[in-house]
Amino acid sequence: MSCGLLRPVFWMFLYTALLLRYCLEKGLWLESADARVGAQAATNVMNSNSYWRDNLRLIGICLIVWFTCSYGFGVLLVDELNRIQFAGFKLGFWFAQQGSIYVFLVLIFFYAHRMASIDKKHDVDED
| 61-95 per-position pLDDT tens digit | 999 999 888 888 888 888 898 899 888 888 888 88
* Helix pair angle (3-26, 39-67), 10° resolution: 160
Instruction: State the residue range of the domain holding 109.
Output: 3-121
Distance (Å, whole) CA 108 – CA 93: 23
Distance (Å, whole) CA 78 – CA 113: 31
Cβ atoms of 124 and 51 within 8 Å: the answer is yes
Q: Is residue 126, in this structure, part of any structural domain at all?
A: no
Distance (Å, whole) CA 52 – CA 46: 10
Q: Is residue 127, in this structure, part of any structural domain at all?
A: no
Q: Is residue 54, in this structure, part of any structural domain at all?
A: yes
Q: Is residue 42, in this structure, part of any structural domain at all?
A: yes
pLDDT tens, position by position, 5-27: 556 666 666 667 776 677 667 66
The count of structural domains within the chain is: 1
Q: Is residue 46, in this structure, part of any structural domain at all?
A: yes
